[in-house]
Each structure stands twice: as structure tokens, then as C-alpha cells.
């Protein structure tokens, strides 16, 4: 069974990220974006018969899909929790398409919301207890920052990648954010000096190379290709998808510089019958600047080790020759906890529907999205396009 072209995204909604919870809960956010996404898709709540959601750092409730369904007053025929960290939103797209193709449902709500308040988070237990922590923590490998710093330092060692090349990612994506009214950090452009003079967090990563946790979320509606023909917007079809996983701790990764993006992207492009060079834009998960370089290399946009040179030689802005994270990426748009990957999927859909506003990529008809969970632990690649 192939899901290529069998389902499409017909509507979406997104909450503008905000610092602090501001009285918003994950369920409250989910309710807001669900209402708006259903309206955007030209549907009514009674039309929703499938539900995909994911864990929220701001609410550790068990049986989360049932909690969400109950809150939304839905009784879906198909529902599940997609738990792939930052790859969850991308993973929802093909799972929804597969459920529709299997005849289990017709209209699937895919929704994530999370709230982040540093004061309350400081007193909560870690959401992902791992046995490896007993061996990693004594050496300073705590949470994500040190893990991605290891990747960045190794990339520099193996390929000569420079701090200036990494900074280019943050600089260009900030230009995109300045055209996005919803971006958390879209009021002022950055320079390379700004990035490299910002506080060093974990060598070699600076403050402006690392996402800032915030509150937010989004939702999109996936329906059958036939139903999509009646959509009020141009339907965005799923053309290809691929996933890969293999380690929970970065110390177990087979390589620090070649990631699981490679098999995931290869599968997505093979299903779609296209190549990376056919893409009109890319929306790679960007929790750190180094994540973008490794993803672009492993997805095949450039050769391994040439990511630094690639981003330096290309204009990554919405009007450049390689539009990348046209909403600003999470580095400038903000990372709403475990809902962070949602913004990449929604931005790809927005661009393909021709709803990008000032940052619209000209003549965009096909694009690449990648979701990343953990420390390059879980990958989901998508090829989305207009049929």
C-alpha cells in the first residue's frame, strides 16, 4: 500500500509563540488551534473522525489522546499519540494519511500544544528518565545542549566547519523571522558578530545558536485526496515520507556527524520520486544551528562535510536561492516545547498554499520538511507538494 498522493493537508492554525505560560495550558492551546484549524479547513467539528496528538512538557497526563479527545468533545474512530519529540508533527502527517488510506477515518486532526514557564519547570521531574543518564551525567552530558555541542565540535574537527558558518544559519533565518509577525524574535535582524558575541552556553554553541523555550502550538487537518478537492484552500499533498530511529543517548549514536536524517530523507525522496534538488524550499528542524547543517548534508542537499560551505554560499532567506525555514525557524520563531516541530510542517503548508505573505517563496510547489526528536535520535522527513 502506497500513501503517495492519497491524502492532503487542507487547513491549519497556529498560536503565536509567547514567553512564559501567560495563563495558557497545553489543553487550552490545543482547544484554540483546533477550533481555528477546523474553520480554516472549511469543516465542522462533527467532520473530525481521527485524532493525532503528542505529549506536552507542560502536562504529563497519562492517556493523553483520551484527555485531548475528551477536552475537545470528540469521539474519533482513530486516535493515537505520536511520541517522537520534535519529529512528532511530521510523523503525524504520514500516519494520518495511512489511516485514511486504510479506511479507518476521513478527516484527521493533528494537534500539539505546550506551555513553558521556567519557574514551574524548575520544580518538575524530567519527562524522559533514561538509564543512560547514570553514565552520561557525571561527564556533563545533561539535557540537549552538551549533546549538540558534541556534534558541532566533532563536525568542526572532521570537516573544518567554522563558527562563522554556523552563525550564518541564525543570521539568515532571523531575516525570515523579521517578515513573520508571529515570530518571537522577529523585531531585529542579526549579524554574524551578534551571534558570535552572544554568551557561550556550551562550547562551541552560543546563546543565539540555541532555541528559546516558549509557549505555543498548532494544528492541521489531513483528509482524503478526494475530499481535499472541495477544500477552500489549495490542498497540500503528502508525496513522500520516511522515518528512522536508533539511539536515545547521543553516546550510543553510530556517528556524531552522520545522522538518521539520511535514511529518513532517502525514503521520503524515493517515495515521492524526486530529488533534493527538486525542492523549492526546505524546513529542517533547527533546535541548534548545527542541526541545520547536519540535516542539509544528510538529506542530500550537499555533500557530507560541506554544510558549512553550502549555507555560506547560498542565501537561506525566503527570497534567496535556497529558502530555508522561511518562518524564522525555531531559533527565531521560538520553540514551544514538544510542539516545536509543528511550526515547520505548518510553514511548509503555508508556503505551498501560497499564504506566506511578505515571506512567500515565489512559485513554490514542492518542499522538504524534517522533524528531529531528542539529540538526533528520531527523524521524520516529508516531501509535501501540489498535485
DSSP string, 117-167: -HHHHTTSPPSS--TTHHHHGGGT--SHHHHHHHHHHHHHHHH---HHHHH
DSSP 257: S
pLDDT of residue 130: 66
Output the average pLDDT for the chain: 96
Domains and CATH numbers, the chain: 7-120+211-385 (3.40.47.10)
Mean pLDDT within 240-257: 95
332/65 Cα distance (integer angstroms): 30
pLDDT for 373 equals: 97
- Biggest CA-to-CA distance, the chain: 57
Mean pLDDT within 257-285? 99
SS3 of 324, please? strand
353, 365 contact by CB (below 8 A): no
Q: Could you read off the pLDDT of 16-68 as tens digits, one per residue?
A: 999 998 899 999 999 999 999 999 999 999 999 999 999 998 887 889 999 99
- pLDDT-derived band at 322 (thresholds 50, 70, 90) equals very high
- Measured CA to CA, the distance from residue 214 to residue 82 in angstroms comes to 21
Strand-pairing partners, residue 241, are: 382
What is the C-alpha separation between 387 and 373, in angstroms, rounded?
Answer: 29
Alpha helices in the chain (DSSP H): 26-40, 64-72, 88-101, 118-121, 133-136, 144-159, 163-177, 192-197, 225-228, 261-272, 289-299, 307-313, 329-333, 342-352
Q: Which of 367, 369, 370 is nearest to 385 (CA)?
A: 367
pLDDT average, residue stretch 142-152: 95
Q: What is the DSSP letter of 59?
A: B
- Grid coordinates of 375: 539529540
Query: What are the tens digits of pLDDT across the range 119-142?
Result: 656 656 655 556 677 888 888 888
Mean pLDDT of 316-345: 98
Task: Note the Cα 186 to chain centre separation in Å.
Answer: 18
Q: State yes or no: pLDDT of 196 exceeds 60.
A: yes
* Cβ count within 10 A of residue 193: 11
What value does the mean pLDDT take over residues 343-370? 99
Residue 185 has pLDDT above 70, yes or no: yes
CA-CA-CA-CA dihedral for 74, 78, 84, 90, to nearest 10: -90
> What integer pLDDT is reported at residue 214 of this predicted model?
96
Residues in the chain: 387
Given a cut of 60, is residue 167 above it in pLDDT?
A: yes
- What pLDDT score does 140 carry? 84
Query: Which three three-digit cell numbers place residue 142?
Result: 545533561
What is the pLDDT, as a whole number, of residue 136? 85
For residue 329, give the C-alpha cell: 525557524
* Helix, strand, or coil (residue 326): coil
Query: Which pLDDT value is given to residue 120?
Result: 59
Amino acid at each position: 500500500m502506497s500513501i503517495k498522493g492519497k491524502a492532503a493537508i487542507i487547513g491549519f492554525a497556529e498560536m503565536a509563540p509567547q514567553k512564559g505560560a501567560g495563563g495558557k495550558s497545553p489543553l487550552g492551546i490545543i482547544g484554540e488551534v483546533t477550533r481555528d484549524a477546523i474553520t480554516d479547513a472549511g469543516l465542522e467539528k462533527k467532520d473530525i473522525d481521527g485524532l493525532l496528538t503528542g505529549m506536552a512538557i507542560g502536562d504529563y497526563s497519562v492517556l493523553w489522546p483520551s484527555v485531548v479527545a475528551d477536552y475537545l468533545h470528540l469521539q474519533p474512530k482513530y486516535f493515537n499519540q505520536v511520541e517522537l519529540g520534535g519529529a512528532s508533527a511530521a510523523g503525524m502527517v504520514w500516519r494520518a494519511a495511512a489511516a485514511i488510506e486504510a479506511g479507518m477515518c476521513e478527516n484527521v486532526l493533528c494537534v500539539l500544544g505546550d506551555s513553558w514557564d521556567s519557574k514551574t519547570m524548575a520544580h518538575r521531574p524530567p519527562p524522559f528518565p533514561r538509564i543512560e543518564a547514570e553514565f552520561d551525567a557525571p561527564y556533563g552530558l545533561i539535557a540537549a545542549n552538551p549533546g549538540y555541542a558534541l556534534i558541532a565540535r566533532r563536525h568542526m574537527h572532521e570537516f573544518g566547519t567554522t563558527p562563522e558558518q554556523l552563525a550564518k544559519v541564525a543570521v539568515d533565518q532571523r531575516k525570515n523571522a523579521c517578515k513573520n509577525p508571529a515570530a518571537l524574535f522577529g523585531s531585529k535582524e542579526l549579524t554574524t558578530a551578534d551571534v558570535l558575541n552572544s554568551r557561550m552556553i556550551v562550547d562551541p554553541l552560543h546563546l543565539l545558536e540555541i532555541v528559546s523555550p516558549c509557549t505555543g502550538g498548532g494544528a492541521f487537518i489531513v483528509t482524503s485526496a478526494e475530499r481535499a478537492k472541495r477544500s477552500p484552500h489549495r490542498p497540500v499533498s503528502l508525496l513522500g515520507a520516511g522515518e528512522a530511529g536508533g539511539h536515545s543517548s547521543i553516546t550510543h549514536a553510530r556517528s556524531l556527524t552522520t545522522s538518521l536524517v539520511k535514511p529518513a530523507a532517502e525514503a521520503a525522496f524515493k517515495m515521492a520520486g524526486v530529488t533534493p534538488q527538486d525542492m523549492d524550499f526546505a524546513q529542517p528542524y533547527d533546535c541548534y544551528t548545527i542541526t541545520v547543517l547536519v540535516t542539509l548534508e544528510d538529506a542530500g542537499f550537499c555533500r557530507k562535510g560541506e554544510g558549512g560551505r553550502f549555507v555560506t554560499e547560498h542565501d537561506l532567506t525566503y527570497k534567496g536561492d535556497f529558502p530555508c525555514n522561511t518562518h524564522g525557524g525555531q531559533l527565531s520563531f521560538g520553540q514551544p516545547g514538544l510542539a516545536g516541530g509543528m511550526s515547520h510542517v505548518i510553514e511548509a503548508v503555508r508556503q505551498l498554499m501560497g499564504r506566506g505573505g511578505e515571506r512567500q517563496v515565489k512559485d513554490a510547489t514542492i518542499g522538504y520538511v524534517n522533524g528531529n526528536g531528542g539529540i538526533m535520535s528520531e527523524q521524520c522527513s516529508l516531501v509535501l507538494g501540489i498535485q
